[in-house]
Amino acid sequence: MKNIIYVALCLMTALLGYSQIILEDPSLSRNFRAEVKSLDEFAARFNGAESHPEISDDSLMNLQNIKALFDLEKVIGKDDRSQFTSYAMSFCDSIFTYNIRFSLCDSNVFALAKCKVKFENRDRPISLILVQEKTSDGYTRWGIAGVKGLVKSGIIKAKKFYNISPVEHEIHFMGLSDILNHNTHKAFGYRSLNNSIDQLNVFLTLIQTGLIEFEIVDNLEIYCMNVPGFIFIISEVLRESTNSGWLISDLFPATSEEKKQFINNLFIEQ
């Protein structure tokens, strides 16, 4: 009986709650329908499967939809607006000429997440590069493909090399217990001169051992290199407008070689 009363109370509460949701401002729903709410919706508009609600269904619909995927406030604010507009037109041409479809699960698409982690009781900025991929059994997943910033943020000290005594072999390297255990902050400096540091492995080890605590993602950008001749960046913008959500925040021309270099730079700490 008590349960029935409780359920009835919950139902009444829910119904009364709905009554307080008042539809007053028509722009809220209009903007929300137009907003690119998810990258799924971005892909649907980019690929011509869905349309911005205020774009008419005619022969220019697909082109207009691609144009509407640009962050127009950013475009207007650009110093080199006319050049950017010309790039944007060539970008659209390239999409239609090569019949490019957008998918997050593409080897030419990377997510760059600028994050905060806690190390030795201090917040430190790092960046994670993530890729979406398919597993052998057909599941879609994100995986961490790279980490940047461990050196710059002071989590690892790797710029300097430290020497292990050249005579240490004679005593079967018994000094290692002294070198490695007592000045741990110098650890990476004892690597061979030819060895580079894999920051991803270091990061995951520090996470596994609990020495780094992941805090928050401050900023997220999606880097896309699947349109021939261009690199474009997608970011999420919130504003009360019919041009909001996941939008193209930047675009620049790039040859295949420049794209390769760009990807390398994404993974390498500057």
Partner 1 sequence: MLLLIGFSVSAQEMTDEHKKEIQDRVKSKVEEFQGYLSSIVNTELSDVRRNAAKESALALFMGEGEPYYIFDEDGNKERHREVRMQISSVNSGNIGSKAVKKYLQDSYDNIHKYLKVTIQAADAVRVDNIYKVGEGQYECMAYFAQKYIAYGKDGNIRYGDFTRKKIKVHITAKEIPAVGIIFEAKLGDIYVESTEKTR
Q: Which residues bind partner 1 (CB under 8 A)?
A: 6, 9-10, 12-18, 20-25, 28-29, 31-33, 35, 37-41, 137-140, 216-218, 236, 238-240
Report, in Å, the least distance between residue 172 CB and partner 1.
41
**Between 43 and 254, CB nearer to partner 1:** 43
* Nearer CB in complex with partner 1: 71/179: 71
In this structure, the number of other CB atoms found within 10 A of the CB of residue 225 comes to 21
Q: How far is the CB of 265 from partner 1 (least distance, A)?
A: 26
Region of 260 please: left (phi>0), alpha (psi -120 to 50) or beta. alpha
Q: How far apart are CA 141 and CA 128, in angstroms?
A: 15
- CA distances (Å), origin 144, targets 27, 226, 249: 39, 20, 23
Nearest distance, CB of residue 250 and partner 1, angstroms: 19
Cβ distance to partner 1 smaller for residue 18 or 270: 18
Which of 38/201 has CB closer to partner 1? 38
Write down the least CB distance from residue 101 to partner 1, Å.
Answer: 16
Pairing of strands 140-148, 245-253: unpaired
* Sequence-distant (≥ 6) Cβ neighbours of residue 123 within 8 angstroms: 116, 117, 215
